Chain A
Amino acid sequence: MPQVKIIAKNFMDMVAALPAMKLDKLYDNTFICEAVLRSLPPLAKKYALQMLYIDVPVPVKSMEEWVLPDGFSKHRVAIDRLIQLRVFIENTDRKRETSYLLHPKFKSNLQKYLVYGGVLPREPMPSNITVRLPTLEELDAYALEQWECFLLQLISSSHAERLTNFSPSMMKVFQRGLLSQREKGPRLTESGFQFLLMDTNAQLWYIIREYISNSEDRGLDPADLISFLLELSFHATGEAYNINTLTEIQRSIIKDLADLGVVKLQQGRKESWFIPTKLATNLSVSLSDSSSRKQGLVVVETNFRMYAYSSSKLHCEILRLFSRVEYQLPNLIVGAITKESLYNAFENGITAEQASINMPLALESLLLFFFQSCRNIFFTSRSNILIGLKSSLVVGVPRFWMVWCLNFLYFLVYGFMGFTHLPQEGIGMIAPVN
């Protein structure tokens, strides 16, 4: 889903949108330079690397000679990104020839990295002070639990068992764009549904982006926030770091991050420390990495009953969006896809393709057929004309009469709406689904 990548990559766009002075100040920090380099497209990474030890400006034509003709679009994307982030500085000399030079602070920081290797932002605490450190599995479970609790509170506050420490105004900021207020209560929008289908990394980036854009109203400097978050991704998972090494601002941020499951806070006898979880170190991993995706299994039968092997409340909520959940066992969620649940889904603007992504591939075609056939009758583009007779095929009403009535009604509507509104393939869809 290319649109997902756009939402998540916007974090780096936010960095790029900072004014030049602030960006230059950000590049004083080695970790930010590393994180920015890692976020670049692969071709841009190569260009940055090969320019590291070149002191003279390189003309544009020389850069272009490296690329084959069919890679030219990628070349342009890479160069544009580098210029946007001010990693490459363009200068035009008197002969009207543009050339590129690497940002000096960026260059010197990365040269140091190449010579000395990577260093940690701060030293972990000695193990004699930190007792009862959780194991990596416990830490993962904690992070997952916190994150799911947060997401549950985000999409449906009534279903959350435990509320996070975020103030209601903060939650409203996060919900902006994802939920819309309806008469029956807050309902999920199309972008909200897309958000739920993204993998954890992308979701985390989205939330953090909202958090940072909101920070200016609360008096925090976004550049500080960005630099702290990027620094956090270079810590080692499972190691304890002293909270006293953080500044005041960073300490307030840490509490919010603990609610998201990014770090875990623990208290010793005299000192308190924070432990970065996998979510923290994944902050700078490439966005197409899918190793954090949860494994689960959804089986959809031809009679539109659905079995989801998952014990997560979040999955239950997501499935509730377009199906009727009948009962929930400790490791199984049983539901059925009915016409009412589909009406709800289409009202919210969920398209057939989005719903089918959630389903295993083998049954995708079946589901797509069903959804599309419903959609053809419903005349998509979110109009509320719901001619729901098609889906009565799900219910076991005598098919012959239903088909006859359906055809009759179809002709009526056909007459009213005129030829142009009907998709041609809709006519072929009026047949019993065996």
Chain B
Amino acid sequence: MASITSKLYSDDVSLLVVLLDTNPFLWSGENTTTNSLSFPKFLTHVFSFLNSILLLNQLNQVVVIATGLNSCDYIYDSSSSPTTVESLENGRMPALCSKLLQNLEEFLARDQELNKDESPPGIASSLLSGSLSLALCYIQKVFRSGPLHPQPRILCLQGSSDGPEQYVAIMNAIFSAQRSMVPIDACVIGAQHSAFLQQASYITGGVYLKPPQLDGLFQYLSTVFSTDLQSRSFLQLPKPVGVDFRASCFCHKKTIDMGYICSVCLSIFCLSLVRLTLVLLQLQTGRGRLQNPSSILD
């Protein structure tokens, strides 16, 4: 597990990227856990939490990315101002709520447009891999903005179940976050635990929490997730009991416990297609000799 070593900073200035799960199937009442927390109530908890982050330090920055069903987008950036170009050391707190809500509405309308034709069964998973990538891109931009920049971290507020088809993309995002020493925190508001987010917070050194009482979400957020990275080394933060390290196979996108791994490219397969794909890969990498092309199709 990568430990978070603060690079050169002595401040507690932080950049928090919040990934909000806006999956309509999650919030529309089919899921019993989130029945106790409706989307508007959830948003009030989140707004208060964002205000508290901006309160703690004048230079703190907050970016909100919405994770939709088919797309993701930046919803809010506290360092950008609509009217004039103002520097960060302004001391002004923009009207967070109205801007955020407006952008969120527009995003949801756009997301729904993309969804018109299909009707996926059950609760579809939201596009976590996309929003993780967007967050990491923003953080990389901040890293390159100069010698003095806030310490970034990512907070995922996720409720939808994991989509095994996103396994590869999510793992890639997790490893690149580990490389850049950006911790990924996770606060799961859905019914079941999320294996991907457990792995993410374990590998990057973040905190994983599934609050038992969603009515007090703000208290959980402010107690566990509001501390800056340097102070975290002195605090007892929740640790998950066990981490679900199961992978999903690349062929059927099913979660598997046992499988086959190609020694060349490390891709994971369940039993059925292993011979075919391995041979194809050998062809691609130029290894192996092919005597009879028709033998491939056996």
What residues of chain A have their CB less than 8 Å away from a CB belonging to chain B? 34, 37-38, 42-43, 45-46, 49-50, 52-53, 65-68, 70-71, 74-75, 110, 113-115, 117-120, 136, 233-238, 278, 281-282, 284-286, 288-291
Contact = CB atoms under 8 A, between A and B. Distances in A.
A118 B78 CA distance: 13
Interface string B85-96: 011011111111
B56 A286 contact: no
A229 to B, nearest CB: 13
Interface string B71-97: 000000000000000110111111111
Contacts of A234: 91-92
Contacts of A66: 235-236
Q: Kindly list the 6 A-B residue pairs having the minimum CB-CB distance in the complex, ordered from nearest.
A: A71-B234, A118-B93, A42-B12, A50-B223, A42-B231, A114-B48
B51 A114 contact: yes
A43 B234 contact: yes
Nearest to A37: B55
B30 interface: no
Given A42-B231, A115-B51, A291-B148, 16 more contacts: A42-B228, A50-B219, A50-B226, A65-B236, A66-B236, A68-B235, A68-B236, A70-B234, A75-B234, A113-B55, A115-B48, A118-B93, A237-B87, A238-B86, A281-B91, A290-B148
B90 A236 contact: yes
A49 B226 contact: yes
Contacts of B89: 237, 278, 281-282, 285, 291
Interface in B1-49: 10-13, 48
B95 A45 contact: no
A71 B235 contact: yes
Given A118-B92, A234-B91, A286-B11, A49 B222 contact: yes
A235 B91 contact: yes
Contact of A281 (B90, B148, B222, B226): B90
Given A38-B57, A53-B218, A43 B93 contact: no
B267 interface: no
A120 B91 CA distance: 9
Contacts of A113: 51, 55
B148 A117 contact: no
Contacts of B222: 49-50, 52
Residue among A50, A75, A115, A117 with most chain B CB within 10 A: A117
B234 A114 contact: no
Nearest to A65: B236
B7 to A, nearest CB: 15
A236 B91 contact: yes
7 contacts: A38-B55, A67-B234, A67-B235, A136-B87, A237-B91, A286-B12, A290-B148
Nearest to A280: B91
Given A136-B87, A288-B11, A290-B148, A114 B55 contact: yes
B166 interface: no
A201 B54 CA distance: 21
Contacts of A136: 87
Interface of B: 10-13, 48, 51-52, 54-59, 86-87, 89-97, 148, 218-219, 222-223, 226-228, 230-231, 233-236
A235 B91 CA distance: 6
A128 B14 CA distance: 38
B15 to A, nearest CB: 15
A45 B231 CA distance: 11
A284 B91 CA distance: 9
Nearest to B44: A115
Contacts of A45: 12, 56
A114 B236 contact: no
Nearest to A235: B91
Contacts of B226: 46, 49-50
Contacts of B48: 114-115
B234 A46 contact: no
A219 to B, nearest CB: 30
A123 to B, nearest CB: 12
Nearest to B226: A49
B96 A117 contact: yes
> Which of B56, B57, B58, B233 gathers the greatest number of chain A CB atoms within 10 Å?
B58
A289 B227 contact: no
B87 A34 contact: no
Contacts of B236: 65-68
Nearest to B55: A113
A37 B96 CA distance: 20
Contacts of B233: 68, 71
B227 A42 contact: yes
Given A113-B51, A288-B11, A233 B91 contact: yes
A284 B141 CA distance: 27
A75 B90 CA distance: 31
Given A117-B93, A288-B11, A289-B11, A38 B56 contact: yes
A49 B10 CA distance: 21
Contacts of B56: 37-38, 45, 49
A45 B48 CA distance: 16
A284 B59 CA distance: 10
Contacts of A75: 234
B58 A284 contact: yes
A375 B51 CA distance: 54
Nearest to B49: A114
B86 to A, nearest CB: 7
Contacts of A38: 55-58
Contacts of A120: 92
A288 B226 CA distance: 20
Contact of A236 (B11, B92, B219, B228): B92
A233 B91 CA distance: 7
Contacts of A53: 218-219
A161 B59 CA distance: 36
A431 B160 CA distance: 75
Contacts of B97: 117
Contacts of B228: 42
B75 to A, nearest CB: 16
Contacts of A34: 55
Contacts of A233: 91
